[in-house]
Structure 1
Amino acid sequence: MTDPEYLDAGGVVPDVTDETATPAPIRIDVWSDIACPWCYIGKRNLENGLAAAAQDEDAPRVEITYHSFELSPDTPVDFDGSSADFLAQHKGVTREQAQQMNERVAQIAKDQAGLHYRFDLQQHTNTVKAHELVHFAKQHGKQLEMKERLLSAYFVEGRHVGRIDELVELAGSVGLDEAAARDALENDEFLPAVRQDQAQARAYGINGVPFFVIDGQYGVSGAQPAEAFTQVARQVWAEHRAAAL
């Protein structure tokens, strides 16, 4: 693991040199897509890496926020074909090659992150409404739960995360008000927030996900191993400690 890349994109760095000398939490902003298999792996590796750092005597405090990124915004809500068909079309490979790619990713997901992908059940779809739902959940203090629920629904359970009816049911499963969720999705209430996330990604120069931005300064690209996230958390927390002295 190399040192995190420095982001020169006008990120705002929290002021941790207040009079209390108490370090501010590390802020981790994550750009990802519901339909990105590496994003779920990266999410779980991040969580496992932070859990290891949490065992330290001087454990880092961390705040995580998820942001929207659409890998294939032109995907229809109801894609006619299998996961392998979708991958073959978008990668310009044969269906057999696409199947092999899925099998490889599924094995990595299992070995690295303990995730059991079911590409045979997967229903490819447009993810913009799922991203809107994540923003709705954030407003109600349930963003992390909603993000996890959507990824599990898509990659493990074969649920359709592009239809409003299905998304409303998933919202209810994490304790969100289903009527309010339906109203927000049907009226595109959080579509501007999705577009703002995408604009910020462009400002940072992010063109692939998952991408992790630490304190608006450092960028970590890809589904890094859990140990890499442990290292980054400890390094940045030491910087917070030093700045608070």
Structure 2
Amino acid sequence: MNSDTLRVDVWSDIACPWCYIGKRRFEAGEAAWRESTSADAPAVELVFHSFELSPDTPEDFEGDEADYLARHKGIDAGQARQMLDHVTGIAATVGLEYRFDLLQHTNTVLAHELIHFAASQGRQLEMTERLMRAYFTEGRHLGRTDELVSLAAEIGLDADAAATALHEHTFRDDVMADERQASELGINGVPFFVIDGKWALSGAQEPATFAAALAHADRERTSVPVSGGAEA
């Protein structure tokens, strides 16, 4: 790792509403930390890792998000809708418009493969952001290869190369490797942040918490790494 870079590894799923909120809160926390620190503070390298919340989800799920929670999580339909309204309100506080009325629940393994493809082209952050917005705000179907290729092209990636990577599952092993590492670290909920390989934060923490964690990691660059993580 570059001594001038503070690496932050994040395990997340593009279908996780708290992961998108956590991403925005981390960005706000980083901005606050940078504003309060010296000009020679290290750059932050944000690296996303795959974590499938529901790997058994079909490509085409019949029903909306509340139906999914009711059928597969055993949550009462009325309670599920209250939960979605609650998270929609929280998303709005960080500038995100969640449209659960448009959302198309689907399997996310191909989306994770696409993120790894984008990472190989130096565009991981742009791809992750684009997929999250497409899923939660635009109602795009991210279980379909043609939709994913279209989104890849939107951020400037080669559509033919993206299609080939998805059809041939070129990056499936990378997705599985991320998930094995998550298991080894004891991660069973996302988002999950590991700062500088040492400091773990679970969940969509407030920006001030992320700012404090970055400041602490920057001060303690030689501390002993953590052996595992807490549940989100």
TM above 0.5? yes
State the shift of 1:40 in Å.
0.2
Counting only pairs closer than 5 Å after superposition, residues 103-182 of structure 1 correspond to structure 2 as 103-111=85-93, 113-182=94-163
Corresponding residue for residue 229 of structure 2: none
State the shift of 1:83 in Å.
1.1
Aligned residues between the structures: 221
Could you list the runs of 4 or more consecutive aligned residues of structure 1 that deviate by over 4 angstroms after TM superposition? none
Matched, 1:184 2:133: no
For 1:1-28, what per-residue CA distance to the aligned partner results, in whole angstroms no more than 9, with x for missing partners?
xxxxxxxxxxxxx5x8xxxxxx431110
Matched, 1:90 2:72: yes
State the shift of 1:241 in Å.
9.1
Corresponding residue for residue 4 of structure 1: none
Q: Is residue 49–residue 229 contact of structure 1 (8 Å, CA) maintained in 2?
A: yes
> Residues of 2 paired with 1:85 and 1:145: CA distance?
30
SS of the residue corresponding to residue 55 of structure 2 reads: coil
Q: Is residue 79–residue 123 contact of structure 1 (8 Å, CA) maintained in 2?
A: yes
SS of the residue corresponding to residue 189 of structure 1 reads: coil
Corresponding residue for residue 24 of structure 1: 4
State the shift of 1:57 in Å.
2.2
Q: Is residue 25–residue 62 contact of structure 1 (8 Å, CA) maintained in 2?
A: yes
> Residues of 1 paired with 2:221 and 2:166: CA distance?
39
Amino acid at match of 2:46: I
For 1:92-149, what per-residue CA distance to the aligned partner results, in whole angstroms no more than 9, with x for missing partners?
12211111110000001112x2111000000000000000000000000000000000
Matched, 1:34 2:14: yes
> Residues of 2 paired with 1:101 and 1:204: CA distance?
29
With a CA cutoff of 8 Å and minimum separation of 6, indicate the structure with the bigger relative contact order.
1
Which sections of structure 2, spanning at least 5 residues, go unmatched?
224-232
Amino acid at match of 2:91: A
SS of the residue corresponding to residue 79 of structure 2 reads: helix
SS of the residue corresponding to residue 221 of structure 2 reads: helix
> Residues of 2 paired with 1:61 and 1:171: CA distance?
26
> Residues of 2 paired with 1:131 and 1:29: CA distance?
15
Matched, 1:73 2:55: yes
For 1:151-200, what per-residue CA distance to the aligned partner results, in whole angstroms no more than 9, with x for missing partners?
00000111111100000000001100000000000000000000000000
Q: TM-score, with normalisation over the residues of structure 1? A: 0.87
RMSD over aligned CA atoms reads 1.4
State the shift of 1:91 in Å.
2.1
SS of the residue corresponding to residue 160 of structure 1 reads: coil
For 1:10-69, what per-residue CA distance to the aligned partner results, in whole angstroms no more than 9, with x for missing partners?
xxxx5x8xxxxxx43111000000110000000111111111122222433211100000
